[in-house]
Amino acid sequence: MATFLVVGGAGYIGSHMVKQLAKASHQVVILDNLTTGFRPLAKYGELVVGSLADTGLMEQLFKQHDFDGVMHFAASSLVGESMTDPAKYYHNNVANTLNLLDVMVRHQVKHFIFSSTAATFGEPEYTPIDELHPQKPINPYGASKLMVERILQDYASAYGLNSVCLRYFNACGADPEGELGECHDPETHLIPLILQAASGRRKAITVFGRDYPTEDGTCVRDYIHIEDLCTAHGLALDVLIAGKQQGAQAYNLGNGQGFSVQQVIDTAINVVAADGCSLIIEEGERRAGDPAVLVADAARAKSELGWQPRYADLNTIIHHAWQWEKKSSGITFEPVL
């Protein structure tokens, strides 16, 4: 049994990670300021409500616990907001992360897993995107994550802090056991928005543009199940702790398969029809900053971490997300494993 600190463990991805760690019999301390996280999602670890900006609290936490590693999920992550309020992104995502890294260095905690993003690549120059693709972010959100990636390289060589950055494409789905799922306020992600339209919590789903250079004209994305995403984090931590990798590593995480917005909607229509639900589709303009196609080449994560996605099928992803939406919206719920 090991002890891990999961920062942002009351959020969507962090809460699923905490559950996986707890299931593997690890002890987990969750640090979350609950600005975008939810207390009920933090049920598999010991929740400490606080901020990375609170250096006194951080010092106290690291004195109290002998952490074997740290996973960091806490971040501001809305691309559009990052354009209008970049200060928020550089403070939350860069300055606060530096506080965390500094306390780790002071207490000689040497294993760090960092949530990075496909947004560090900017406009794709080729697809699928591997780790050699140039990183030229086009918004402060992507830039803030890339800055931390760079900081981690320097902290590895100067202070021996070993890290793995995992660059997510489109994280989605929900706990297959139905206990956790996506809760964002505001919700901006495609799959939960579609399912909220189906459950009646929203009027309709709007398709943002049908004039992209793709087969059906809608944007193509690489949707990766939250469980598979978390499994990759667990493997990365194992590799670091076993000393199989040192320095600052980075991996792209996706299924390597693209689905268009229309394909996602069509799959969701089939899933919700089983419960007698349907949805209204509206047409909208392109959303600023959306590339036509974003698909990951995750070969490196597979070969070096031994990662293999278990829920790559879009139907299963949407099924699990629908279970959660039914639970959240009060529709009768039966777990589908």
Chain residues in the site for ligand UFG (CB under 6 A): 77, 79, 117-119, 141, 170, 188-190, 193, 205-208, 219, 221, 261, 287, 290, 294
- Cα of first residue to Cα of last residue in the chain, in angstroms, is 27
Closest approach of ligand UFG to the CB of residue 144, in Å: 11
Q: Which residue is nearest to ligand UFG (CB)?
A: 219
Q: How far apart are CA 180 and CA 43, in angstroms?
A: 10
Integer Cα distance of 52 and 98 in angstroms: 9
Question: Which residue among 12, 44, 141, 251 is the active-site one?
Answer: 141
Tell me which DSSP letter residue 7 carries.
E
Least Å from the CB of residue 251 to ligand UFG: 16
Q: Which of helix, strand or coil describes residue 223?
A: strand
Nearer to ligand UFG, 208 or 333 (CB): 208
Judged by beta carbon, residue 104 or residue 148, the one nearer ligand UFG is: 148
Q: Are 151 and 112 in contact (CB under 8 A)?
A: no
**In the complex, least distance from residue 108 CB atom to ligand UFG, rounded to whole angstroms:** 32
- Min separation Cβ 87 and ligand UFG, Å: 18
Q: Which is nearer to ligand UFG, 141 or 311 (CB)?
A: 141
Report the distance separating Cα 103 and Cα 97, nearest Å: 10
CB nearer to ligand UFG: give 22 or 293.
Answer: 293
Q: Is 223 a residue of the active site?
A: no
- Pairwise CA distance, residues 178 & 333, whole Å: 9
Per-residue burial over 190-210, b if 16 or more Cβ lie within 10 Å, else e, is: bbbbbbbbbbeebeebbbbbb
* Catalytic residue set: 141
